[in-house]
Structure 1
């Protein structure tokens, strides 16, 4: 595709949750090479599953696409392999690792006779604090595996090279949703925000403890506004399953008037934040990028299971006792620079945030300009390297070991009718009820 081509770039994003849709769609906008006066055409595909975002969640994300539809894995592959359809230039896979791997094998199959194919991009929504090797190798095979910081880029290359896989796809960028006005001083009222996470911590005791300490902070500082920022409403799912929503735990507390629950876009909440508190949420990186005082709690320990170990050396680790006493952390500048989140800093701490995506744009442009287009997809996992693992990953998405759809795989040719839509919503509701109500009861009974 020559650089003078005036046709807008066509980008598809396949996402499996609201947070991954946000990451994928915003990433698509930042990595698109500037090849036409008009912006890129963005088509969104939402992978049908337990975390498929609701209309409210999509509205809250605030990213608009030229088209958006819900699909199964097989329906998506069929759409990507349709003959005669105008091909996409770039495809962003905003999925869990297993989903990325399944799509890579399925796409390799549907594109095997194509002369050209889209550039395939994948990566992570935020902090990579667990299952580094597992999740990373499941993403191997994409043309670009995006790393959100210099630190992640180094770790990703080490993993790939350590197993003898090609590490050239690793491309350093930054989180695509950073931005907003830098923090300039205290608001009136002074506002403390606790960014809750769906799965960290997991158990009732720890979640109740954090909530009680947040409420206690509100009582100790009646002049402050204390906000509990929640990702989803009861019954909705995001990237992770939330068995014990804070909303339900908060109903049992006699909270003061200056404490309240908030939803909405994180960027808008940060506009009025004076102190960001979390266990290990990516919101900490958004906050640090704006130079807002940010605390990563140590009350439950500094543990890999919590993800707060990622912030060792950041200068942000602290406890509720210290916060109650008025502590304001000062981040370590070198650590912040390695995360690619310092206001005005690029991936390596030089240049501006906007330039953090230059390398990705240049790499995509070169792949698109190759006479034959990108080479065939070549994931590290094959039947030769992982014959006991790969078939199970593919089968979860109704694909056989060679990437072809299994017999009976769901692949509707048209939008489901009203009855099917009602049944589907009922099934999702039953699943969420089981996760948030039945499962915790069974677990408690098992602990008796």
Structure 2
């Protein structure tokens, strides 16, 4: 029986990185009735991007319980818990593996939680691939009207049921609206782990930020970083700006590197500059002047093509000269970031859908992902195998025991292996790449 039938609603979130934990946990709270007491249990999927304690503190979203699990451990534990809602805050392949694993785990059960998934921010690449890997959840959340239309078109285009697509908004928009310039005027560059990718482009952006700070010594210029060297977030970061800054020499006294919650940084921001970070949507929602850079081109690989029509595309030369972009109101409305009161009701449709599903006589039907051994026999088995699952969703032979926590020695080895992996990504891989260019 669902937990809501007897006491406070219970929600579980399975996440594979700090940013997805933030999205999943905040989404989970928004999906339940306003003011309702909710028990939130968090599960962190063990992998290369499992968040550190520091990253979790920075996210600032607390859970009633939080533990690290493998896919097999999660699939073993979840069916025994009376959850109302399960939020899968994972990459597409992780979502697909969980859908198949849960379908098998819930076989023959009359009751199961409503399964919800979606995207952390701007969807600018692998649209069809990512969406079809998420198909099969009861709700596939779209963060804007534009995304909802695109998502339905993809599903309908392949003959898949598009009924799960539900329009909401990013759950972390909010904060006080911008009321005018601070003293000192503060310019923030929101860095991204993988955009742009090359050393040359990242060094260029850092150089322009340094030049802007020197050109405007009266301003405070902040380089907002997502993670510290050795940590991983949603995307790999081979060339952290911290290391580029060390090699660039002394920084201007009015330029600082900062970490912390983006919302708190935006509280003192007068101009947000980025290539394509979701932080731009947070900034626009608060009516903070927001610039999306065109210096490296307007290209799909950068993600800034998403902002065509926004009125925010601008170059560093224009910003140095004092230009402030003016966002287009219609574009803002389609992105779900207009702070005009609509945001307060953005999750109403999702709440209504969840309530209807939980009240369905006889419980919910089995999960039915679009990808099966019949529709994608050359693709699906590999997706499942990455999470130690067989094509039918059962654990593969040799998969980590679901009921056994690793001992102290294994935990030490695992941490060392994760550190070695991160070292390889951030130090060895760039060296090999440079050697290959000789």
- Calculate the TM-score normalised by the size of structure 1: 0.96
Count of matched residue pairs: 437
Distance 1:4 1:323 in 2: 52
Distance change in 2, residues 1:38/1:308 (3 Å): closer
CA offsets 1:133-173 (integer angstroms, 9 cap, x no match): 00000000000000000000000000000000000000000
Matches within 5 A, 1:30-45: 30-33=30-33, 39-45=37-43
Choose the corresponding residue for 2:295, options 289, 299, 312: 299
For the residue of structure 2 that corresponds to 1:183, the secondary structure is coil
Distance 2:69 2:162 in 1: 31
Residues 1:392 and 2:382 are matched in the alignment: yes
CA offsets 1:416-441 (integer angstroms, 9 cap, x no match): 32222211111111000000000000
Residues 1:381 and 2:360 are matched in the alignment: no
Contact 2:42–2:65 (8 Å) recurs in 1: yes
Residues 1:401 and 2:363 are matched in the alignment: no
Give every structure 1 segment of 4 or more consecutive aligned residues whose post-TM-superposition deviation is greater than 3 Å: 1-6
* CA positional deviation for 1:6: 5.6
Distance 1:2 1:109 in 2: 19
For structure 1, the 5+ residue unaligned runs are 347-352
* CA positional deviation for 1:327: 0.3
2:98 corresponds to:
103
For the residue of structure 1 that corresponds to 2:227, the secondary structure is coil
1:19 corresponds to:
19
* CA positional deviation for 1:3: 12
2:152 corresponds to:
157
* CA positional deviation for 1:7: 0.9
Distance change in 2, residues 1:54/1:4 (3 Å): closer
CA offsets 1:374-405 (integer angstroms, 9 cap, x no match): 21100000111111111110011110111101
Distance change in 2, residues 1:381/1:412 (3 Å): closer
Residues 1:252 and 2:247 are matched in the alignment: yes
Matches within 5 A, 1:11-410: 11-33=11-33, 39-82=37-80, 86-253=81-248, 254-346=250-342, 353-410=343-400
Contact 2:311–2:325 (8 Å) recurs in 1: yes
Distance 1:88 1:421 in 2: 29
For structure 2, the 5+ residue unaligned runs are none
Choose the corresponding residue for 1:418, options 408, 422, 427: 408
* CA positional deviation for 1:413: 2.1
1:447 corresponds to:
437
